[in-house]
């Protein structure tokens, strides 16, 4: 394992890799070079700029400086915000230049100390992943209660039921962790009750924006019927594979959908919910109910943030079910759950008639990390130029994963 650990430290400098990719992206943008692959997989920048040009410019708004200079408390607030913004930029640049992970903020540490972990009976070596361990399996876990997926009352009797009251709850077991969080955005108040009150208008605004953008988009019947449910969705972010030879922007189903999604993601309330994942998917309902599934394309040991919108009776519907953990969780509006979605089968129960449910999903696909580990190449390109010792280390990794896969296969978890 010493050789394996040395390989991981040497090969998986993700921060440096992302920094290099960002610099390369800036060079490409500056030269405005569009390759044949970009034309196939990425919406051309010219059409995007054309859409932006069609939007009428907003009328100029009077600024505080034009009317009256700030004094007293307002001036101090402005100076404090400017200082915090500058400090955030300096800290971000420093974290990108450092090989060590960034330290958590005091607010995150406070939440962690106030949270009481709940233990669950599950071993991380039972996770179902592909041989190379970059991604998970797309087939859902076999479970005796699957025929009762839409019956929360039966699931509550035979699974552990968590009547979540919107507090922070980390779950942990041997080698695994996932988190329930109210997702209070940029709230700075130490009072959870006060933070919830400030978060309610944000959730309502995002729900209204999702409802409005749904009306602006067009979807074929096939796009509304997929393994994650019978509802439309759109995705933005970075993708790789599926014919792509390099990382590129994900293209929406149509220019109309792309313009509507762009407007949605520029909403200030949406930005408060954004976390630095590579990809974001908006489930546009109006009843986003998902059957048991695993998002196997996501990073196998990565996390996925599932955010629940829309006001509904969370005691009667939209329960979040983690089948691998034998857990059914009350999922209040405005809250989010962090789970390893590539390796944990999950679903949500139906909502009541007349209710609606929209959701925001944030994640990073595993092939992005494989591409970085391949020094920004596909597997075929990497193997064509790889040294013998690099190939030997990869075989060592596969050999290390083989016993876990065999164990899972013997237990019926493949």
Q: Are 161 and 314 in contact (CB under 8 A)?
A: no
Lowest-confidence segment of 9-23, 42-56, 230-244, 332-346 by average pLDDT: 42-56
Which segment, 46-50, 103-107, 189-193, is predicted with the most confidence on average?
103-107
106 compared with 260, residue with greater pLDDT:
260
- CA-CA distance, 270 to 202, in Å (whole number)? 8
Residue 396: what pLDDT?
Answer: 72
Q: Are 279 and 365 in contact (CB under 8 A)?
A: yes
Q: What are phi and psi of 184, to 5 degrees?
A: -80, 10
- Give residue-wise pLDDT tens across range 161-200: 988 876 666 666 555 555 655 543 333 344 455 666 678 8
- CA-CA distance, 344 to 328, in Å (whole number)? 13
Q: What are phi and psi of 116, to 5 degrees?
A: -110, 110
Structure tokens at 394: 């990869």
Residue 229 is given by DSSP the state B
- CA-CA distance, 344 to 127, in Å (whole number)? 7
- CA-CA distance, 13 to 8, in Å (whole number)? 8
Q: In what side-by-side order are the strands of the sheet with 320-322?
A: 160-162, 327-329, 320-322, 346-348
Domain ranges for the chain:
116-371
Average pLDDT rounded to a whole number, residues 23-37: 48
Alpha carbon 333 to its chain centroid, in Å, reads 18
Residue 326 predicted with pLDDT over 70 = yes
- CA-CA distance, 34 to 23, in Å (whole number)? 16
Residue 206 predicted with pLDDT over 80 = yes
Which segment, 60-69, 338-347, 369-378, 381-390, is predicted with the most confidence on average?
338-347
Average pLDDT rounded to a whole number, residues 56-60: 58
- CA-CA distance, 205 to 186, in Å (whole number)? 16
Residue 153: what pLDDT?
Answer: 95
Residue 16: what pLDDT?
Answer: 60
CATH of 116-371, one of 3.80.10, 2.60.40, 3.40.1350, 2.60.120: 2.60.120
Query: Which DSSP helix (H) or strand (E) runs through 178?
Result: strand 176-181
């Amino acid at each position: 394992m010493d050789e394996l650990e040395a390989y991981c430290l040497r090969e998986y400098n993700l921060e440096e890799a992302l920094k290099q990719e960002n610099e390369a992206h800036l060079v490409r943008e500056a030269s405005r070079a569009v390759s044949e692959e970009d034309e196939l997989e990425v919406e051309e920048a010219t059409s995007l700029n054309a859409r932006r040009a069609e939007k009428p410019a907003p009328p100029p708004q009077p600024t505080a400086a034009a009317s009256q200079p700030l004094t007293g408390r307002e001036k101090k607030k402005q100076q404090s915000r400017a200082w915090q913004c500058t400090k955030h930029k300096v800290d971000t640049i420093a974290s990108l230049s450092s090989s060590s992970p960034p330290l958590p903020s005091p607010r995150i540490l406070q939440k962690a100390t106030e949270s009481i972990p709940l233990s669950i009976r599950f071993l991380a070596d039972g996770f179902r992943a592909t041989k190379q361990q970059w991604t998970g399996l797309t087939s859902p876990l076999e479970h005796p209660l699957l025929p009762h997926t839409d019956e929360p009352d039966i699931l509550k009797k035979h699974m552990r039921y968590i009547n979540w009251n919107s507090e922070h709850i980390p779950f942990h077991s041997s080698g695994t962790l996932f988190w329930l969080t109210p997702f209070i955005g940029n709230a700075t108040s130490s009072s959870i009750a006060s933070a919830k009150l400030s978060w309610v208008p944000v959730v309502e605004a995002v729900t209204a924006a999702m409802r409005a953008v749904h009306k602006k988009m067009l979807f074929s019947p096939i796009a509304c019927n997929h393994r994650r449910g019978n509802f439309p969705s759109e995705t933005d972010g970075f993708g790789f594979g599926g014919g792509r030879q390099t990382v590129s922007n994900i293209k929406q189903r149509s220019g109309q959908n792309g313009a509507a999604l762009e407007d949605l993601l520029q909403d200030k309330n949406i930005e408060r919910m954004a976390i630095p994942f590579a990809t974001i998917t908006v489930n546009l309902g109006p009843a986003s109910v998902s059957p048991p599934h695993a998002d196997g394309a996501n990073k196998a040991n990565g996390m996925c943030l599932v955010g629940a919108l829309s006001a509904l009776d969370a005691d009667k519907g939209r329960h979040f079910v983690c089948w691998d953990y034998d857990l059914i969780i009350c999922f209040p509006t405005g809250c989010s759950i962090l789970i390893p979605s590539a390796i944990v089968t999950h679903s949500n129960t139906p909502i009541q008639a007349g209710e609606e449910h929209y959701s925001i999903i944030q994640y990073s696909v595993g092939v992005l990390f494989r591409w970085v580990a391949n020094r920004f190449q596909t597997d075929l390109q990497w193997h064509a130029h790889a040294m013998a010792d690099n190939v030997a280390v990869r075989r060592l990794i596969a050999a290390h994963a083989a016993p876990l896969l065999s164990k899972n296969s013997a237990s019926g978890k493949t």
